[in-house]
Chain A
Amino acid sequence: EAQVTQNPRYLITVTGKKLTVTCSQNMNHEYMSWYRQDPGLGLRQIYYSMNVEVTDKGDVPEGYKVSRKEKRNFPLILESPSPNQTSLYFCASRPGHRYEQYFGPGTRLTVT
């Protein structure tokens, strides 16, 4: 089944404790992206990647890092999480030549 998977789905952590949210897609898509979704603000793009080893900042990159060492994986790293990073996070992917993005199921992160 073609899909985007994220792990973990739920995470509660404390301020300053480094964490990684994994994202993997099995569709051989070139493009991958991370978003956060907050009430009243919609989805905001954090980082995106056009292909392996090619990443760029979205609209809200502060406090986040990403890497794209393999085509299928695009992990989101929070080196020192803070409470304002409490949010619902989505990973998405799409073929390089098409508009349609496929979203993962989301990761709900709470930082206390």
Chain B
Amino acid sequence: TQLLEQSPQFLSIQEGENLTVYCNSSSVFSSLQWYRQEPGEGPVLLVTVVTGGEVKKLKRLTFQFGDARKDSSLHITAAQPGDTGLYLCAGANSQGAQKLVFGQGTRLTINP
């Protein structure tokens, strides 16, 4: 079974600080997705990365897919309280993402 390890599992920082969340595996994935989940709701897709070394930016969020397509990172610049939530990475092991493997999640709290 493919595994995705996210770190840290919990992170609490002050508004304005920068942070990075990591998603690592020993397996190669054809694509990797990042989701954000609010309490009482389902996950919402933030980004999909497909190519090794790919970098995507979404406002203050920067996502990177490792060259070997085994790992990914999410970097948030100048974190805001609205960034608080559960961040999940998910890897697809085939074209079309029929089966997704999720990491355990990183619970991020941004304090005003």
Contacts and interface: CB of A to CB of B under 8 A. Distances in A.
Interface residues of A, number: 27
B33 A43 contact: no
A100 interface: yes
Nearest to A33: B100
A41 B97 CA distance: 20
Interface centre among A42, A44, A105 (most CB of B within 10 A): A42
B42 A42 contact: no
Interface residues of B, number: 26
Contacts of B103: 42
B24 to A, nearest CB: 14
Interface string A61-99: 000000000000000000000000000001010101101
A59 B101 contact: yes
Interface in B52-94: 88, 90, 92
A99 to B, nearest CB: 4
Interface of B: 1, 4, 6, 9, 31, 33, 40-45, 48, 88, 90, 92, 96-105
7 contacts: A42-B102, A48-B99, A50-B98, A99-B48, A99-B97, A101-B43, A101-B100
